[in-house]
A and B are shown apart, each in its own frame.
Chain A
Amino acid sequence: MNIIVTIFLICGLIFFFGGAVGIIRFPDFYSRLHPAGKLDTMGLLMTMLAMALYSLHDFCVASVLTSLKIILIVVFVFITSPTATHAIVDAGVRAGLEPWTKE
């Protein structure tokens, strides 16, 4: 059980790390949103699943409720993260930022 939790946690941390590096390396605002909005969501899904599994290890009502709440956070973030990304893109388009293209 602990091994599965650790593997999930490390996968999620790798996704988070990729997101942070992508935010720094990508050339313009629009392409920075790709790692920021979505690699973070995936990392959050992985780490939250790991922690929901871990809090189930002593099986009682309170721990099941805690896991349910963690799953609720994941569902909430999966609904709101595209919306937040879209809000930022929309602000960029309205402000007139030109997308970076290769020549």
Chain B
Amino acid sequence: MAVTEQENYHQGQPHSSDMKLASPRQKRFSASFFITFFIMFGLWLVLSGRPDLFHISLGIISCFIVSFFSADLLLPSPQLKKMPGLWFRFIRYIPWLLYQVFIANIHVMYLVFHPRMMDVIDPRIMKFKSRLTSDMSLVTLANSITLTPGTITVYISIYGDVTFHVIDIESGKTLPWIMEARIAEVFDE
């Protein structure tokens, strides 16, 4: 039941038109099923912390059920080929993001403790048009902009129109464009 719904959903997606529809049996036990299963099982081992037979068998059963029904949510199977390179580039992106978040946090701390704060800040709403297209890269862009203090994403559309609120001009002048270039490099667009 769930599988047919997901197939309809994928047919509606524009970027998955090249995906040939596999039979349900092949689709259920695909590679994304096993990867989801191992991620879930690792999470179970960390969270339960009791490696005896009873808890491990419970974990295997529940991880099997979860990944049986929702493997396609975590890893959509048409994009599975590009995944390892994407994860590698994403992990390389994270330290740069943390560094930027740290710098911008220091900037906001300076603004907060400034004695004449009302003169220094200049909040306004800015817009720009992004050239990213896929859903994941747009979500990553929005979350990165929000995570960097000084800028908050107000609205983002699937066509790439980004509206964001800045606390003062200099924090919104350059950073979203650099960030967009980095994310385009990560998601290979």
Contacts and interface: CB of A to CB of B under 8 A. Distances in A.
Q: Do chains A and B directly touch (beta carbons under 8 Å) in the complex?
A: yes
Interface of A: 14-15, 18, 21-22, 25-28, 30-31, 33-35, 37-39, 41-42, 62, 65, 68-69, 72, 78-79, 81-83, 85-86, 89-90, 93, 99-102
Interface in B64-114: 101-102, 104-105, 108-109, 111-113
Contact of A38 (B105, B118, B124, B153): B105
Task: Give the interface size bracket for B toward A.
Answer: 20 to 34
B124 A101 contact: yes
Q: Is the contact region of chain A dominated by helix, strand, or loop, or is it mixed?
A: helix
Given A30-B123, A31-B123, A37 B118 contact: no
Contacts of A90: 154-155
A30 B47 CA distance: 37
Contacts of A62: 49
A26 B118 CA distance: 8
Contacts of A68: 46
Given A31-B121, A39-B105, 14 more contacts: A30-B123, A34-B167, A35-B108, A37-B146, A38-B147, A38-B148, A41-B101, A41-B147, A72-B46, A82-B147, A89-B153, A93-B154, A101-B122, A102-B123
Given A69-B46, A82-B147, A30 B112 contact: no
A25 B118 CA distance: 9
A93 B123 contact: no
Contacts of B124: 99, 101
B149 A89 contact: no
Nearest to B114: A25
B101 A82 contact: no
17 contacts: A18-B113, A26-B117, A27-B118, A35-B108, A37-B149, A38-B105, A38-B108, A39-B105, A39-B112, A42-B101, A42-B105, A65-B46, A79-B143, A86-B142, A86-B153, A89-B152, A93-B155
Nearest to B167: A34
B60 interface: no
Contacts of A82: 142-143, 146-147, 153
B113 A38 contact: no
Closest 10 CB pairs of A and B: A82-B146, A38-B149, A22-B112, A82-B143, A18-B109, A42-B105, A31-B123, A65-B49, A34-B167, A18-B112
B147 A78 contact: yes
Contact of B146 (A21, A72, A85): A85
Contacts of B47: 69, 72
Contacts of B58: none
B150 interface: yes
